[in-house]
């Protein structure tokens, strides 16, 4: 059984947004804001997938991992929904409506996947998303990005990404238990990453256009580390259980355990 703690934490997002930064810094900021916009749709979709999967899991320890995974994701997206209200409020009503339009498209996609696609597909989507997120979260931890002072909701991001690292084995293990095919993991997983990233681009472009800016795609050591970690997920020998955690992640998780509601 994986070591997963469910922490109920609610963050507040009072700090003002500062878009008056360089094009490079804006690029670094709009990515996470766009990611946040997807969470109230993506994470409930992962939870729905796990709910179906749990009924078929024959290993009680893995079923418990899947339950805790879902509970963690549930706390993540509830915080993101509050941050997203703040994000929309930075823009005028027409931009907020455009953002809501993209949110509706994403929600329609995920509801359709739950309704019409196989569990095999939905589990490959979940693992594709989790593998990509964990690759980025590990890079962020390695490069101290959890201590950002400019990113809106930085503290919540640090908690979320630390928990993504903490539950990194679950979608992989559930996929291995119920599906198992390596080629399908790569095929459907890569498609799911393309699908997901296309929405990140739409959200980021909508915000950049509203600001009248052309943000630069960040090319930092962190981005290169994320890409390296991501490419490793394509290996047939990839197993998130074998990943060595960067320094500081355990301390961060302990800090959030202390912050969580009893
Ligand atoms: Fe999450
Ligand atoms: Fe996750």
3-state SS of 138-167 is HHHHHCCHHHCCCCCCHHHHHHHHHHHHHC
Output the CA 81–ligand 1 centroid distance in Å.
12
Mean pLDDT of the 73-90 span:
97
Output the CA 24–ligand 2 centroid distance in Å.
27
Q: 132-187: per-residue pLDDT in tens?
A: 999 999 999 998 877 777 788 899 999 999 999 999 999 999 999 999 999 999 99
* Percentage of residues in the chain having pLDDT higher than 70: 100
Q: Token pair of 40, please?
A: 């109230």
Output the CA 74–ligand 1 centroid distance in Å.
8
CA neighbours closer than 13 Å in the CB half-sphere of residue 44: 15
The pLDDT value recorded for residue 261 is 83
- Cα–Cα dist 129/10, whole Å: 24
pLDDT at 220 over 90: no
Q: What is the DSSP string of the chain?
A: -------B------SPP---S-HHHHHHHHHHHHHHHHHHHHHHHHHHHHHHHHTT---HHHHHHHHHHHHHHHHHHHHHHHHHHHHHHTS-HHHHHHHHHHHHHHHHHHHHHHHHS-HHHHHHHHHHHHHHHHHHHHHHHHTTGGG-SSSTTHHHHHHHHHHHHHTTTHHHHHHHHHT--HHHHHHHHHHHHHHHHHHHHHHHHHHHHHHT--PPPP--HHHHHHHHHHHHTTSTT--GGGPPPPTTHHHHHHHHHHHSB-
Mean pLDDT of the 79-96 span:
97
- Residues around ion ligand 2, judged by CB within 5 A, are 164
Output the CA 40–ligand 1 centroid distance in Å.
10
Output the CA 73–ligand 1 centroid distance in Å.
4
The pLDDT value recorded for residue 53 is 98
Mean pLDDT of the 57-63 span:
98
Output the CA 14–ligand 2 centroid distance in Å.
25
Output the CA 99–ligand 2 centroid distance in Å.
23
Measured at the CA of 194, the angle between CA 183 and CA 189, to 5 degrees, comes to 25
pTM of the model: 0.96
pLDDT at 6 over 80: yes
Output the CA 94–ligand 2 centroid distance in Å.
32
What confidence tier does 219 reach under pLDDT thresholds 50, 70, 90? confident
pLDDT at 76 over 90: yes
């Amino acid at each position: 059984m994986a070591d997963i703690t469910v922490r109920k934490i609610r963050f507040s997002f009072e700090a003002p947004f500062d878009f008056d930064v360089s094009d490079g810094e804006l690029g670094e900021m709009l990515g996470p804001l766009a990611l946040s916009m997807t969470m109230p749709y993506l994470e409930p979709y992962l939870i729905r997938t796990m709910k179906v999967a749990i009924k078929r899991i024959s290993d009680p320890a893995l079923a418990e991992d899947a339950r805790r995974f879902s509970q963690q994701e549930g706390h993540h997206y509830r915080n993101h929904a509050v941050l997203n209200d703040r994000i929309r409020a930075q823009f005028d009503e027409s931009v907020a409506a455009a953002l809501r339009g993209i949110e509706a498209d994403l929600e329609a996609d995920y509801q359709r996947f739950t309704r019409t696609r196989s569990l095999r597909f939905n589990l490959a989507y979940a693992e594709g998303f989790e593998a990509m997120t964990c690759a980025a979260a590990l890079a962020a931890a390695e490069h101290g990005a959890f201590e950002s002072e400019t990113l809106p909701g930085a503290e919540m991001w640090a908690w979320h990404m630390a928990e993504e690292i903490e539950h990194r084995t679950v979608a992989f293990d559930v996929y291995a238990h119920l599906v198992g095919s390596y080629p399908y993991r790569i095929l459907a997983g890569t498609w799911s990453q393309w699908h997901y990233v296309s929405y990140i681009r739409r959200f980021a472009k909508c915000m950049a256009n509203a600001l009248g800016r052309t943000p630069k795609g960040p090319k930092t050591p962190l981005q290169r580390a994320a890409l390296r970690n991501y490419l490793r997920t394509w290996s047939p020998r990839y197993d998130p259980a074998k990943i060595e955690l960067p320094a500081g992640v355990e301390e961060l998780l302990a800090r959030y355990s202390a912050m969580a509601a009893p």
